[in-house]
Amino acid sequence: MASTITKIEIFRVPPRWLFVRVETQDGTVGWGEGTLEGHTEAIEGAYQDIIRRFIGWDADRIQDIWQHCYRARFYRGGPVLMSATSGLDIALWDIKGKRLGVPVWQLLGGKVRDRLKVYGWIGGDKPSAVVEGAKGRKEQGFTAVKMNGTEAIGWIDSPEQLQETVSRVRDVRALGLDVGVDFHGRVHKGMAKQLARLLEPLQPLFIEEPLLATQPLEIADLSKQRLYSRSDFRPYLEARAIDIAQPDVAHCGGISELHRIASLTETYDVALAPHCPLGPIALAACIQVDIAAPNCTFRICILRAPFADMHYNEGADLLTYLVDPSVFAIKGGYVEALQGPGLGIEINESLVREYAERYSGEKPWINAVWTGEDGSLREW
């Protein structure tokens, strides 16, 4: 059968991404991304099982393969297994679109919009870079940006820490840009309440991750969080705890699950803004769903720029592995719907193989570990 899966390969590439390449008997190649930041080796281990299981399967049976990934073992869900499933699922949708000669959004019911509003990341960990980063994003054509709210902060800390955040947001807003503020799960409840209240007069687009996902009832007092699958989102939706859902396509189960989450959140009148500080494959997969999802609002777009790189993207960035980077061009704050078949991007396979080989002996990326002045661990 022409669509039989004959090869599944994984590539660890800089800065911190895990690409998945799936090939079928007729030579069609699909690309996916199963990145799980800081847990690369765990994902690589999960793929050994996936490779053993699905060689010889029909690539057209995307939902059947997804169900077997998720349900055919006693333990299911969680960031590692869902991220591994994501990479395979995205690659299978890429293959199906290429075999049929249409973009994935056509297979999801067609367009509900022609272009997608995007915002650019400007950091915020180090306050000095925020305003310059915002100016650079504006020059690139962005009308909205997102920034971290705080550096490391104590469980209960000095009010001065919060005033610095407010000042940075005010400075960026003064440039005429809309601003989303990411608390990054760093701020505990007592401080998060105060900071949200102080930011309210500045009318941020949203507050992201005010607390960690382990605090659903406390988040219901505040609002918002990033999770993995439909079952993870359910208690937050039922508690009316979120206004914007931010599933990661490379963590939640791929295009299949992201599309289902879009429908689920629409039922609760919750907006969808898939979270994607990852690679070009994950971004393209997000855009495919965003173009077909009625409740989609924003898309994060991390573009290479000397003034405001994602601070942990070292050695490569969003556009590095693309044959044609213009597919992600920003025009008036928007990215046009991708028109090519499958994911609508072309991956430079020779460069992926070169970088994977070059960095194969290096340690995978891990996040920073922060401690306070008293030596206790702080949330990163």
Both tokens of 222, joined, read: 């505040």
259 a catalytic residue = no
| Distance of alpha carbon 368 from alpha carbon 358, whole angstroms | 24
Q: Under a CB-based contact definition with an 8 Å cutoff, are residues 222 and 211 in contact?
A: yes
251 a catalytic residue = no
Q: Please tell me which residue in 184, 188, 251, 259 is annotated as part of the active site.
A: 184
Q: Please tell me which residue in 39, 251, 259, 275 is annotated as part of the active site.
A: 275
Q: Which of 38, 92, 57, 23 is nearest to 281 (CA)?
A: 92
| Distance of alpha carbon 299 from alpha carbon 141, whole angstroms | 14
Three-class HEC string of the chain:
CCCEEEEEEEEEECCCEEEEEEEECCCCEEEEECCCCCCHHHHHHHHHHHHHHHCCCECCCHHHHHHHHHHCCCCCCHHHHHHHHHHHHHHHHHHHHHHHCCEHHHHCCCCCCCEEEEEEECCCCCHHHHHHHHHHHHHHCCCEEEEECCCCCCCCCCHHHHHHHHHHHHHHHCCCCEEEEECCCCCCHHHHHHHHHHHHHHCCCCEECCCCCCCHHHHHHHCCECCCCHHHHHHHHHCCCCCEECCECCCCCHHHHHHHHHHHHHHCCCEECCECCCCHHHHHHHHHHHHHCCCECCEECCCCCCCCCCCCCCCCCCCCCECCHHHHCCECCEEECCCCCECCCCECHHHHHHHHHHCCCCCCCCCCCEECCCCCEECC
Letter for the amino acid at 67? Answer: Q
| Distance of alpha carbon 134 from alpha carbon 319, whole angstroms | 20
Residues designated as active site = 184, 275
